[in-house]
Structure 1
Amino acid sequence: MNSPDLHASMSPTRPIRPTRLPGPAGPVILALFAAAVLVDLGSLLLGAETGHRIAKPLLMPLLAAYTAVRGGPRLLVCALLLGWGGDVFLLSDADWAFLVGMGSFAVGHVCYLVLFGRGGTPRWLGPLYAVLLVAALVLLWPGLPAELRVPVAAYATLLTVMAWRAAVVGPLAAAGGALFLVSDLIIAIDVAEMPQPPATDFWIMFLYSMGQLLLMLGLLARHRTRRSG
């Protein structure tokens, strides 16, 4: 006979019990995340590739650790760690690594969509994101390598839906989804070999890091509100 408690404990959206660590673990982890972001961005501006390769893989595990310490949903930890997988694979210039990294991010977006749940978004937001998606694909399509066109289009659609649905959670998550989308759009512009903005890698990582941070904070804030209610 299956126990309801057993099923609940296996649920990916079940909160994680806050880890009992000595001292203010949450603020310390966020401080480490901020330090890793600064090292990563500084390394990109200075052209210090080693610093970037060391700092970048630390970002999402630190956010995942913060989520766990704060007793956040397990699925949020999974989404962040899937982002870490994407980060690691995208450190390589190989096409296969790009596809695997994009796939890891895509599964992370699915996790986010499950976390967002049901609920309405502003009526104008869906059409706005739809227009942005179509315009981006029309502009990027000719410059994309033939073997990447379909995967990039599928990923872009999923990412756009994630950014749109993030508004269900609240302003923080909505802003995080939008920043994540812009970050990946810059990557797609690079892949399509279109004109790049100055300090491209810097802006990609800045927007991505802030996007993931805001998504996490928005989901944790809603989670705390629901638990207290």
Structure 2
Amino acid sequence: MNPLRSPWLAAFGVAVVAHLALVLAQAQPWESISKCLIAPLLIAWVIEQGGPRIIAAALFFCLLGDLFLELDGFFIAGMAAFAIAHVCFVTFFVRHGALASLGRRLWIPAALAVAAVLLLTWVWAGLESGLRIPVLVYALLLSTTAATALAVDLRAGLGALLFLFSDGLIAASIAERVPEDAVAGGFVVMLTYTAALFLLATSTVRLGSGWVAATRPADDGSVPEQVR
């Protein structure tokens, strides 16, 4: 069966559409409940496909991040959970030849470093002092995920960039750098975040489970042309 036709992936799609509708309707607590169903459905799909355990772990920490961010006083805990998720993603991409590829295309980390600096410069003054260092560390992790993902696979890279955009929008909102519209802002954040999870999960399962064996790195550590 085509992996993309899995009932788990279909359920993920339904959950995303339902959640986005609830965001627009501002229907609490169902909005928060539906948000915490999204990552588990992708985890079930990764397991069903025999995907990499480290990706299932990354998605699990995304679930924890989603949960913590819905609870008052747990914002830092939510950031920490997402940070661990990004460490898992980076580890996967490094294992699949990201460093060798980045060594030949230094413009990728350079461009993302510039993007991170610009984002931090934009939001820095609007952040509470206690958030500045955590946001700095998290921005570096987001940029590292994007760089290593782009070095390995275009689909994964697009997913990582959407993750960066989604969380950058959250930072801009916290720093009051974007117009205050909780409904529209929340919709865009969740639309790009769920798209990011889908692209990252499907690309890493394809790479890590032999779904397309030709995209595995060569024994000499080089990255095949298909994923450059």
User: Given the two structures, how large is their TM-score scaled by the length of structure 2?
Assistant: 0.84
Question: Is residue 205 of structure 1 aligned with residue 190 of structure 2?
Answer: yes
Q: Is contact 1:25–1:69 with CA below 8 Å preserved after alignment?
A: no
Question: Is residue 29 of structure 1 aligned with residue 8 of structure 2?
Answer: yes
Question: How far did residue 164 of structure 1 move?
Answer: 1.1
Question: How far did residue 26 of structure 1 move?
Answer: 6.1
Question: Is residue 226 of structure 1 aligned with residue 203 of structure 2?
Answer: no
Aligned residues with identical type, % of pairs: 35
Q: CA offsets, 1:32-79, max 9 Å, x none? A: 101110111001111212221121000001101100000001111000
- 50, 54, 69: which one aligns with 2:29: 50
**Which consecutive residues of structure 2, in runs of 5 or more, have no partner in the other structure?**
217-228
> What does residue range 191-202 of structure 1 map to in structure 2 within 5 Å?
191-196=174-179, 199-202=184-187
* Paired residue type of 1:109: H
137 and 228 in structure 1: CA distance in 2 versus 1, 3 angstrom threshold: closer
- Runs of 4+ aligned residues of structure 1 deviating over 3 Å after TM superposition are 226-229
Correspondence for 1:116: 93
180 and 197 in structure 1: CA distance in 2 versus 1, 3 angstrom threshold: farther
> What does residue range 168-207 of structure 1 map to in structure 2 within 5 Å?
168-196=151-179, 199-207=184-192
205 and 40 in structure 1: CA distance in 2 versus 1, 3 angstrom threshold: same
Correspondence for 1:8: none
Larger relative contact order, structure 1 or 2 (CA cutoff 8 Å, min sep 6): 2
Correspondence for 1:135: 118
Question: How far did residue 208 of structure 1 move?
Answer: 0.6
Q: Distance in 2 between matches of 1:60 and 1:182?
A: 18
Correspondence for 1:103: 80
203 and 228 in structure 1: CA distance in 2 versus 1, 3 angstrom threshold: closer
The secondary structure found in structure 1 opposite 2:70 is coil
Q: Is contact 2:173–2:180 with CA below 8 Å preserved after alignment?
A: no
Q: Distance in 1 between matches of 2:140 and 2:179?
A: 22
> What does residue range 65-80 of structure 1 map to in structure 2 within 5 Å?
65-80=44-59
Correspondence for 1:10: none
Q: CA offsets, 1:175-201, max 9 Å, x none? A: 000000000001101111222375000
| Deviates most, 111-120 or 100-109 | 111-120
User: Given the two structures, how large is their TM-score scaled by the length of structure 1?
Assistant: 0.84
Q: Distance in 2 between matches of 1:59 and 1:174?
A: 21
Question: How far did residue 226 of structure 1 move?
Answer: 3.5
